Amino acid sequence: MNRAPAVRIASENPVPDYITSRGSKTWGLAFAFWTLLALSYALSSGLSALSEGHDPSWLRGLTWNAADFYLWMVLAPAIGWLGRRSAGRSWPRFLLLHAPASLGMALAQTVLQLLIFWTVSGPGKMPVTSFGGFVHMEFAYKFQQALVIYWVILAVLRGMESRRHLRDERLRRTQLETQLAQSQLQALRMQLQPHFLFNTLNAISALALADPLQARLMIARLSDFLRLTLEERHAPQVPLSRELEFLTCYLDIQQVRFQDRLSTRLDVADDTLDAAVPNLILQPLVENALRHGLQDKPGAGILRVSIRRDGDQLQLRVDDDGLGLPPAGTLEGIGLGNTRSRLRMLFGDAAGLELSAIPGGGTRAEVRLPYTEHAA
């Protein structure tokens, strides 16, 4: 007969988490767990008897351990419920609840186990012939063991419950951080769009008297751009093909403004058209090239936009042959500053924006970000 279940339970990974779920799958796992414990203890008891030269009494050993562990399987949900009721209480109130509960459950489990074993297996070779004598022989040891098992189960269940609460809290924190990042991205976009709008309206105002026809054409192009922007107003990322539609509308507006002083060239690899990119990522790069590189350049200028896939990264380049970077370096405005912030929020250190001088004159703005295909 096995005499050490309490030690084994403390050293195993005892109770599956079936306190918060009453589904058949959870109960099935619980039943399998307790059955495995009963079988392992019955086997250990039988092998111990064989090693000592005694009859292993496999059926009696299995009956004893099955009655023991299945009763704890039934009582464990009640222990878990009491544990949740006492969560957050002071130690005196905690002990006031669990001290009588442990005594009551240990007493009930002990008496029921002894009764089940006596009913199924009888006295066998024990030196007693009545149930009262059997209880007198086994009660002290079994009751003390049951008390230990109650507190072991309580400690394990409270630990698992605390771990679950910690996991849920981390999940809620992650969701809040995601919501905050999305709100910040939306705020940056809302800041970026008026910035572009004001610049465009200033250009229209300058053309209104000098060239009314071109001003009306520019207003029409602006209307198309705003329509596309509003259609994707909630999307943090869009397919590159969609982003190129934005860019085309924007360049149409600037072409009206610059006339023959601006030539644009788009060089986009076909295998990048489905890539996911931040919404309006190219427009501030192009605007920066026009405003700081080509606007004050004497004569015509060329703006090149090239997009390539480089391994697991997407490479976006905007080159101009304008005035180049000033000796003191470029002071970033709203457009480039917001672009850096959006890249940092979306991709962390996996993405970046660099400005560099092009040999022979001009400036290159290059964005690198992880290549992923946009989910339809």
Average pLDDT over residues 217-245: 79
Question: What does the pLDDT average to over 43-54?
Answer: 79
Domains for the chain: give ranges and CATH numbers.
29-188 (no CATH), 232-326+333-370 (3.30.565.10)
Taking CA atoms, 106 is separated from 8, 150, 151, in Å, by: 17, 7, 10
**Better-predicted residue by pLDDT, 5 or 44:** 44
Q: Is the pLDDT of residue 8 over 50?
A: no
pLDDT digits (tens, 9 = 90+) for 125-174: 788 878 888 888 888 888 998 999 999 989 888 888 888 888 888 887 77
- For the chain, percent of residues with pLDDT exceeding 70: 84
pLDDT attached to residue 221: 81
Give percent of the chain with pLDDT exceeding 90. Answer: 25
Q: Given this model, what pLDDT does residue 343 score?
A: 87
Residue 270's pLDDT band (boundaries 50, 70, 90)? Answer: very high
265: confidence class by pLDDT, cuts 50, 70, 90 = very high
Measured distance between the N- and C-terminal CA atoms of the chain, rounded to whole angstroms:
65
Q: Is 70 exceeded by the pLDDT of residue 295?
A: yes
Cα-based torsion angle of the residue sequence 171, 173, 177, 180 in order, rounded to the nearest 10 degrees: 120
Edge-to-edge strand ranges of the sheet holding 313-320? 262-268, 301-310, 313-320, 363-370, 352-357
pLDDT for 373 equals 92
Picking from 77, 50, 166, the residue whose alpha carbon sits closest to that of residue 42 is 50
* pLDDT for 122: 83
Long-range contacts of 307-313 (CB under 8 A, 24+ apart): 307/240, 307/267, 307/268, 307/269, 307/272, 308/269, 308/272, 309/269, 309/271, 309/272, 309/275, 309/371, 310/368, 311/371, 312/370, 312/371, 313/368, 313/369, 313/370, 313/371
Region 195-219 average pLDDT: 78
In degrees and rounded to multiples of 5, residue 368 shows phi and psi of: -120, 135
**What does pLDDT average to over the chain?**
81
> CA 343 to CA 85: how far, in whole Å?
47
Mean pLDDT comparison of 15-29, 31-45, 48-62, highest-scoring range: 31-45
CB 275 within 8 A of CB 372: yes
Amino acid at 215: A
Average pLDDT, integer, range 314-321:
95
Residues 23 and 144: their CA atoms lie apart, in Å, by 33
Question: Is residue 296 packed enough to be buried (19+ CB in 10 Å), middle (13-18) or exposed (0-12)?
Answer: exposed
Question: For residues 156 and 17, which has the higher predicted lDDT (pLDDT)?
Answer: 156
Q: Kindly state the tokens that stand for 198.
A: 């004001």
**Pairwise CA distance, residues 171 & 236, whole Å:** 22
**pLDDT at residue 94 in the model:** 84
As a whole number of angstroms, the distance between CA 65 and CA 30 comes to: 16
CA-to-CA distance for 64 and 290, rounded, in angstroms?
86
175 vs 315, higher pLDDT: 315
233 DSSP 8-state letter: T
State residue 233's pLDDT score: 57
